[in-house]
A and B are shown apart, each in its own frame.
Chain A
Amino acid sequence: MELDFNRAKEFFKGMLFIRRFEERCVELYSNQKIRGFLHLYIGEEAIAVGLMSALSEEDAIFATYREHGHALARGVSAKTIMAEMFGKMEGCSRGRGGSMHLFNAATRFYGGSAIVAGALPLAVGMALADKMMKRNRVTVCIFGDGAVAEGEFHESLNLAALWRLPVLFVCENNRYAMGTALTLTESETNIYKKAVSYKINSKQIDGMRVMDVAEAAKEAIAYIHSEKAPMFLECLTYRFRAHSMFDAELYRQKAEVDEWKKRDPLILFEESLKEKNLWSAINKAEIEDEIKITIDEAVAFAENGTLEPIEDLEKFVYSEARHG
């Protein structure tokens, strides 16, 4: 993949934007503006940014409860995401979903699912519909390593392979299912091998390198279109922050976290741009300023948002009440 200045800037800014957005979320959580669960993506930004760069507007996305990064990288507006976390009507799910359930029809972003592996069957069905209607588009399903232990993972991979469905399965292997290490729960920790057993073309890639992810995703999408079959990417990554804001991180050593922080996707990308003599063209201070303005605007938008009237509480349980 050609890495020109524009793409370099886009990737760097995309990752930094997610990082700064979530750092602000932490502050807002401490100030009790954001409540409920808040799962941070910090450390894993290269996957969302690299992956989304390979998709077309027509493609559909199912993500997990750690999906701020995916939503932002897909182009869901930061304003509506922040308003959602503030529980406001202007939120991308009208304040009905919160941090774990970001939805946006315009970008075909089908959520934020907080039942681990629960969205894999949905992705299979979405792709089945496209195949039946002969629509040439891909459904991307993002999940963590924890999902691999669920029956729905295996059932869904089998169906996608059996029916040759246009699904791109993306496993973000950050080595822990909440606080339990993958090595304590899986007999085979190379997750991509499980997909191979279902006869799915499967690759393990470095999820800390945005270019690796972008290239692998681009190739995967091309493969899905040409071979009319699903594909599986295991992205090796690491979560720098706790599982959620309630996690005391008793299950891992600080030294391990520090070691992984040396492979921060932002640092790795900076190094790679320096090697390619592209870094000097990146004005980091200017990018930081642009990001800060956008996030400030998002917070102001959320602050000024509207609380949905209690009379509307029972809306959206059934379709006929949608506007009633």
Chain B
Amino acid sequence: MDNITTYREAVKEAIRKAMHEDERVFLMGEDVGHYGGCYAVSMGLLEEFGAERIIDTPLSESAFTGAGIGAAMNGMRPIVEIMTVNFSLLALDQIMNNAATLLHMSGGQFNVPLVIRMATGGGKQLAAQHSHSLEGWFAHIPGLKVLTPATIQDAYEMVGLALSDPDPVLIFENALLYNSKGSLDMNAIPTPIGKALIHKAGKDITIITYGISLFKALEASKTLAEVGIDVEVIDLRSLRPLDNETIMNSIKKTHRVIIVDEGWKSGSISAEIMARINEQAFYELDAPMERICTVEVPLPYAKHLEDAALPQPQKIVAMAKKMMSKL
């Protein structure tokens, strides 16, 4: 049964459900308990589950992320919340050198069933240390899975999917989405990790995107429909693994691609997607691939500058029109 809820509530409901069903699940991070979560995702959970399972940590990203790994190796199913992706860099040693490597380095003896959630993305005028989209970096690393829920349904489902995965899973929640509203079917069968979803079918151009850019692409698609350009919009949902099949099948249909990503272009997930299309579907292309990414600056505070730096629907519209006029 569908009900209307927010992205924030969807994540919280998924955590609540998991904690009720499995005593091994617990939540740990900065301000998750008494404060209720920096973005209020865990509001009320301390009262419901107690301080032993909703654990406020000191500002020690490396230690509490590593503690999550150690607890996961010892039978628990921890959810570590890192306040924002920029802070996750303080825990990068643990994520890269331990979480991602232990299974391989131990010859398959020790897996790490850890979930790390963090906020990502710009658009809130929080400047250059709280606004970046670094999920593409983490997608570089073998041993990790990288999820980017955009919809209310995915915000809910991905917590459960990640917790039932035997390996470390990172979930990137775009902070601007927490207040977004939509329908949630809590009884739906979850779409598996690694499966992209086509949110709008179309025949002219494939727009590949994820996270908050999905909604910018969908908005652009409406404007484009008015001028007779019928785009297909793919929500990747997962940056690692990437759903090559859905991407390539769409290109075989549309023969044109625009990638929309809040990360920067250089050395990015958008570059990786282009490389894969080049390897797997080059002869299907009727036009050079294009991408709309964040301008290569540390994100500025001033609103007009930040807006200009980020991907926007009108940039997508302009790019699509240009691409079609080249015929």
Known A118-B93, A125-B72, A132-B76: A316·B103 in contact at CB below 8 Å: yes
Contact B107 A125 (CB under 8 A): no
Residue total for A at the interface (Cβ-Cβ under 8 A): 46
Contact A319 B93 (CB under 8 A): no
Contact A93 B143 (CB under 8 A): no
Contacting chain A: which of B58-66, B123-131, B245-253, B302-310?
B58-66
Contacting chain B: which of A22-30, A40-48, A101-109, A244-252?
A101-109
Contact A121 B58 (CB under 8 A): no
Contact B58 A159 (CB under 8 A): yes
User: Which residue of B60, B67, B74, B105 is within 8 Å of A103 (Cβ)?
Assistant: B105
A236 at the binding interface (Cβ < 8 Å): no
Known A60-B74, A125-B70: A97·B142 in contact at CB below 8 Å: no
Known A155-B62, A159-B63, A320-B166: A121·B94 in contact at CB below 8 Å: yes
In the assembled complex, the Cα of A160 lies from the Cα of B192 at a distance in Å of: 37
Which residues from A are CB-within-8-Å of B110?
103, 105, 110-111
Contact B106 A129 (CB under 8 A): no
Which residues from B are CB-within-8-Å of A162?
58
Looking at the assembled complex, report how far the CB atom of A139 sits from the nearest CB atom of chain B, in whole angstroms: 8
A122 at the binding interface (Cβ < 8 Å): yes
Name 17 A/B residue pairs within 8 A (Cβ), A-sorted. A91-B107, A94-B108, A97-B105, A103-B110, A110-B110, A111-B102, A111-B105, A111-B110, A120-B63, A121-B63, A121-B66, A121-B94, A152-B62, A316-B106, A317-B142, A318-B145, A322-B108
Which residues from A are CB-within-8-Å of B71?
125-126, 128-129, 132
In the assembled complex, the Cα of A96 lies from the Cα of B142 at a distance in Å of: 15
Contact B106 A155 (CB under 8 A): no
Which residues from B are CB-within-8-Å of A113?
98
A151 at the binding interface (Cβ < 8 Å): yes
Which residue of A has the minimal Cβ distance to B102?
A111
Q: Which chain A residues (115-133) contact chain B, with CB distance < 8 Å?
A: 115, 118-130, 132-133
Looking at the assembled complex, report how far the CB atom of A41 sits from the nearest CB atom of chain B, in whole angstroms: 20
In the assembled complex, the Cα of A203 lies from the Cα of B110 at a distance in Å of: 32
Which residues from B are CB-within-8-Å of A151?
62
In the assembled complex, the Cα of A129 lies from the Cα of B69 at a distance in Å of: 10
Looking at the assembled complex, report how far the CB atom of A67 sits from the nearest CB atom of chain B, in whole angstroms: 13
Contact B107 A94 (CB under 8 A): yes
Contact A103 B111 (CB under 8 A): no
In the assembled complex, the Cα of A322 lies from the Cα of B74 at a distance in Å of: 19
Contact B167 A318 (CB under 8 A): yes
B109 at the binding interface (Cβ < 8 Å): yes
Q: Which chain A residues (77-115) contact chain B, with CB distance < 8 Å?
A: 91-97, 101, 103-105, 110-111, 113, 115
Which residues from A are CB-within-8-Å of B94?
118, 121
Which residues from B are CB-within-8-Å of A155?
58, 60, 62-64
Contact B104 A128 (CB under 8 A): no
Which residues from A are CB-within-8-Å of B98?
113, 115, 118-119, 122
